[in-house]
């Protein structure tokens, strides 16, 4: 306690007195407004709520994109999508970017600071083909479909299998596939919120993948059933987080562990006429939870606008690691402590999976989403709960639009699309089918895609 007070009085971010273990849990497709501490009306997250109340949590946090690949690349590199170029290439079908080996990843920066890094990931867009394994001593990957993937608890067990061999300090990166479609939680969570809902007879969740459901909302009672099933998977994740913390306590590591809980993106439930993710950069897709627990200060709720780039800066700072060139953002720990002097309360997101390229910026009052194809932007008012429901008032459009567009230019250098370079073309049959099942790509089947053979996939990639 004395140490924490001393650091706070000195105006410095609060960090543990010795290098902590860092465990980052990325929950695929998790919206913060479906967690209790963020105001949800169902008890989906009692344990995560408890952790947040004892630690620090950010009410207005944003991912760098609205779908998995570019968002995960930002979490693992600290760079925006226009910098790391790992996303879907504009107007090029099934071609995606690959992280260049020259990029210094979070795992590599932590390695230089004395850490050993291991990852357990499950979404097909985290395959080693995309270069995201760079810097990890152990990178355990399994591809997934909507109805077949490694569970959150199994992911934790795999992580512990690696962590038990690490003397420390360690950086463990865990990716939970839930609550991604098809929202099929396992017992005892399946049916916890949806049991007895007659809408179950009106919809096939597996049929929700596809463009027709992005523009044709089902009846409200069916939408509520879909949200109930989504919430059941969050409850499953909540139990997995409890299992993770219990395991860290049993191993005697919890007292010097920083636990970070966030998501790669959210999910649309027809707020602006769409469903699923990857189609826009609105808040239902780009707003994420960030919860810091364990060996962290108890700042409670923080209302500053923050982004994953700030989280990466904070992780490197708390670990005593050097900040690689080109990293922007502000140390998240300093923002929480109120000692940050260069934070502008603006978050930027870019690179969408479906449709023409877009970029967006959001501050405490408004969101600006700009289409590179049309050269036009839209402005929305951001409500106190973080949602964007109403267009911005006419009297505010000019000042807010100028402020947010200038922020985008300052981060990117221009308002021009940045297509990047190729690196991964989905020619591997298994990967192609997995991404088709997840609803991420469409078009000709894999056998008709003309491209060099993709690198061999393996479930685990080790680098020493």
Domains (range + CATH), the chain? 20-342 (3.40.720.10)
**What is the C-alpha separation between 345 and 444, in angstroms, rounded?**
43
**What is the C-alpha separation between 39 and 287, in angstroms, rounded?**
14
Predicted confidence band of residue 215 (pLDDT cuts 50, 70, 90)? low
Task: Give me 265's structure tokens.
Answer: 């993106």
Bridge pairing between strands 116-121 and 366-371: unpaired
pLDDT digits (tens, 9 = 90+) for 104-137: 999 999 999 999 999 999 988 899 989 999 999 9
Mean pLDDT of 209-228: 76
**What is the C-alpha separation between 74 and 161, in angstroms, rounded?**
26
pLDDT digits (tens, 9 = 90+) for 342-377: 899 999 999 888 877 899 999 999 999 998 888 888
Provide the β-strand partners of residue 294.
258
**pLDDT at residue number 354:** 80
**pLDDT at residue number 355:** 77
Residues in the chain: 464
Higher per-residue pLDDT: 60 or 197: 60
**pLDDT at residue number 352:** 85
Q: Which residues contact 73 (CB under 8 A, 6 or more apart)?
A: 79, 81, 84, 86, 87, 99, 130, 132
The CA-atom distances, in angstroms, between 199 and each of 164, 179, 210, 225, 414 are 45, 20, 20, 6, 47
Mean pLDDT of 327-341: 96
Residue 164 is given by DSSP the state: T
Higher per-residue pLDDT: 164 or 200: 164
The pLDDT of residue 454 is above 60? no
Mean pLDDT, all residues of the chain: 85
Predicted confidence band of residue 4 (pLDDT cuts 50, 70, 90)? very low
**What is the C-alpha separation between 229 and 185, in angstroms, rounded?**
8
**Cβ atoms 114, 19 nearer than 8 A:** yes
**pLDDT at residue number 9:** 42
**pLDDT at residue number 131:** 93
Angle CA 456–153–181, to nearest 5: 70
**pLDDT at residue number 420:** 55
Q: Which range (63-67, 153-157, 306-310, 415-419) has the least confidence? A: 415-419
**Cβ atoms 345, 305 nearer than 8 A:** yes
Place of tokens 């409850």: 235
CA torsion 318→319→325→329, rounded to 10°? -20
Closest CA to 17 of 320, 336, 383: 320
Provide the β-strand partners of residue 391.
380
Bridge pairing between strands 366-371 and 377-382: antiparallel
Three-state DSSP class for residue 88: strand
Q: Where are the beta strands (DSSP E) in 100-256?
A: 116-121, 138-141, 170-176
**pLDDT at residue number 463:** 33
Q: Which residues contact 396 (CB under 8 A, 6 or more apart)?
A: 365, 366, 379
Predicted confidence band of residue 327 (pLDDT cuts 50, 70, 90)? very high
**Cβ atoms 289, 56 nearer than 8 A:** no
**pLDDT at residue number 65:** 96
pLDDT digits (tens, 9 = 90+) for 71-88: 999 999 999 999 998 987
The pLDDT of residue 218 is above 90? no
DSSP H helical ranges for 175-279: 212-215, 220-250
Predicted confidence band of residue 418 (pLDDT cuts 50, 70, 90)? low
Q: Which residues contact 124 (CB under 8 A, 6 or more apart)?
A: 143, 144, 431, 434, 435, 438, 440
């Amino acid at each position: 306690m004395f140490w924490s007070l001393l650091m706070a009085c000195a105006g410095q971010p609060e960090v543990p007195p010795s290098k902590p273990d860092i465990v980052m849990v990325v929950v695929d497709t998790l919206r913060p407004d479906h967690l209790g501490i963020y105001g949800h009306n169902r008890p989906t997250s009692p344990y995560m709520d408890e952790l947040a109340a004892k630690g620090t949590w950010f009410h207005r946090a944003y991912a760098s994109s609205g779908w998995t690949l570019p968002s995960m690349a930002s979490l693992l590199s600290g760079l925006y999508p226009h910098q790391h170029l790992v996303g879907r290439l504009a107007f090029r079908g099934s071609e995606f970017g690959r992280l260049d080996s020259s990029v210094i990843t979070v795992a590599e920066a932590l390695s230089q600071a004395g850490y050993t890094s291991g990852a357990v990931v499950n979404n097909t867009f985290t395959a080693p083909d995309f270069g995201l394994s760079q810097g990890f001593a152990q990178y355990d990957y399994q591809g997934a479909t909507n109805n077949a993937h490694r569970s959150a608890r199994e992911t934790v067990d795999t992580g512990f299998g690696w962590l038990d061999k690490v003397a420390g300090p360690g950086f463990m990166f865990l990716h939970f596939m839930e609550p991604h479609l098809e929202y099929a939680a396992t017992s005892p969570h399946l049916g916890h919120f949806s049991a007895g809902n007659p809408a179950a007879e009106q919809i096939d969740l597996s049929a929700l993948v596809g463009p027709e459901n992005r523009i044709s909302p089902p009846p409200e009672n069916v939408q509520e059933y879909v949200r109930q099933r989504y919430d059941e998977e969050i409850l499953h994740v909540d139990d997995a987080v409890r299992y993770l913390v219990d395991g860290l306590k049993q191993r005697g590591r919890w007292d010097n562990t920083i636990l970070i809980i966030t998501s790669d993106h959210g999910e649309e439930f027809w707020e602006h006429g769409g469903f699923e993710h990857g189609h826009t950069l609105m808040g239902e897709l780009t707003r994420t939870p960030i919860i810091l627990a364990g060996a962290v200060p108890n700042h409670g709720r923080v209302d500053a606008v923050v982004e994953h780039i700030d989280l990466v800066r904070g992780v490197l700072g708390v670990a005593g690691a050097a900040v690689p060139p080109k990293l922007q953002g502000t140390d998240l720990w300093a923002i929480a402590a109120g000692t940050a002097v260069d934070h502008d309360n603006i978050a930027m997101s870019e690179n969408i999976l479906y449709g023409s390229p877009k970029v967006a910026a959001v501050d405490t009052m408004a969101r600006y989403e700009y289409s590179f194809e049309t050269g036009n932007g839209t402005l929305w008012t951001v409500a106190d709960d973080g949602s964007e429901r109403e267009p911005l008032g006419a009297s505010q459009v000019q000042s807010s639009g100028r402020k947010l567009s200038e922020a985008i230019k300052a981060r990117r250098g221009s308002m021009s699309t940045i297509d990047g370079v190729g690196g991964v073309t989905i020619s591997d049959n298994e990967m192609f089918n997995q991404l088709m099942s997840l609803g991420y790509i469409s078009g000709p089947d894999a056998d008709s895609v003309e491209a060099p053979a993709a690198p061999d996939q393996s479930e685990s990639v080790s680098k020493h």
